[in-house]
Amino acid sequence: MKNEIILKGHKGTKTLRCTKPLCLRVFVAFSALFLISSMSFFNCSKVEDNEIKAPGIVDGEIITIKSVVAGTIQELDVKEGEKITRDKLIARLNPDKIENQLKELEISRKEIDINSQKVSKKLRFQNSNIRYLRKQVQRFRRLKKKNSIPGEKLENMELKLMEAETSRFELEKTLETLNIQKEKIENKKEYLHLLIEDHMIKSPVDGVVVEKFVSAGETIMPGTAIADILDTSSLYIEIFIEEKEIANLKLNQEAKIRVDGIEGEKNELVGVISYFGKKAEFSPKYIISEKERKSLLYQVKIRVKDDAGILKIGMPVTVVFASGGSEPF
């Protein structure tokens, strides 16, 4: 099947007839030419009146909030585009299973407390009994020296003392075991409370909700992404500067940031250079000529001192620097 391409120019209109594969190749060639021209226009900076001007884009650090535990989302308390503050609740997972474990631990702790009280009471009695038996043994020994009692009676009293001391030792060990069990329960309760906190997913920064990945009622696994949060304190402007102009710039140098589409004083913000790219963008791996080297572009990042909430990620801006030798802003 034949297709037609219509070319219009100052000398008139021409119609080309071609097959479908040929038309596709012509379209791809024109598209590539347009894309290259657009990139060159966007990336190249201009020098005007002792100023370096470069178009840029607002960017920032996006934090992916993930769950560290498995569970069912009971509540999802944010919307895309919503401004949130640090520690704002983003999602709550159902904690019923953990709360039931806490209740069981509380019952076990009460049982241990009751047993500890019983053992402590027996231990107090046994201590009193041992004091009595020791006195009896001492008295019987004095009587034995005087041959007032048979030796068998003294031996029986000493045996009773040994049995009482053994019983006390066992009671002390039982009490220690109960105390250890109580400590284990307290440690497990603390762990479960921390686990409940993990079921409360909060924002680590002040920012804006860029995207949500889950819905209320959904069951998730550890590591599941909940939402993307843009850290508004991390906003920066990304521009590309030609190699011949990068030498005129330095770290912490001030720059004017002009926001497209905004009039008045809010149109111009102030920032400083915070980062220079380590290498030229789109540089080939093989050796390039001096002419090609002049057209290389270097990434530059500008931190805004105070954007007053004006800047949004993806927003186009124009950055203006004082060129070498001129006074700073």
Indicate the range of 18-22, 124-128, 167-171 predicted with least confidence: 18-22
Structure-token pair, residue 35: 């894309």
For residue 96, the tally of other CB atoms under 10 A from its CB is 11
69 contacts 93 by C-beta, under 8 angstroms: yes
**Per-residue confidence (pLDDT) for residue 1, from 0 to 100:** 43
Q: Which CATH architecture has domain 63-94+205-230?
A: Beta Barrel (2.40)
Sorted by sequence, the CB contacts under 8 Å of residue 231 that are 6+ apart come out as: 60, 61, 62, 63, 205, 206, 207
> 304 forms bridges with which residues in the sheet?
271
Average pLDDT of the chain is: 81
| Per-residue model confidence (pLDDT) at position 286 | 38
What would you measure as the largest C-alpha separation in the chain, in angstroms? 147
Burial class (CB in 10 A: 0-12, 13-18, 19+), 273: buried
Backbone φ, ψ for residue 151 (5° rounding): -65, -30
Instruction: Taking residues 305-326, report their average pLDDT.
Output: 78
In the chain, where are the structural domains located? 45-60+235-329, 63-94+205-230, 96-198
86 three-class SS? coil
pLDDT value of position 173: 97
- Count Cβ atoms within 10 A of the Cβ of residue 255 and give its class: 0-12 exposed, 13-18 middle, 19 or more buried: buried
The pLDDT tens digits for 149-204 are: 898 999 999 999 999 999 999 999 999 999 999 999 999 999 999 999 999 999 99
Residue with tokens 């805004």: 304
Distance between CA atoms of residues 214 and 161, nearest Å: 71
Q: State whether the Cα torsion 87-89-91-94 is positive or negative.
A: positive
The DSSP string of 128-188 is HHHHHHHHHHHHHHHHHHTT-S-HHHHHHHHHHHHHHHHHHHHHHHHHHHHHHHHHHHHHH
Residue with tokens 């966007």: 42
3-class DSSP assignment, residue 323:
coil
Q: Which CATH class, in words, describes the domain spanning 45-60+235-329? A: mainly beta
Pure H helices in the chain: 20-43, 96-145, 151-198, 243-246, 290-294
d(CA 210, CA 83): 10
Q: Which residue has the tokens 């308390």?
A: 77
Residue 261 has pLDDT above 90, yes or no: no
Kindly state the tokens that stand for 280: 């030229």
This prediction has a pTM of 0.62
- The predicted pLDDT at position 88 comes to 94
State which amino acid sits at residue 242: E
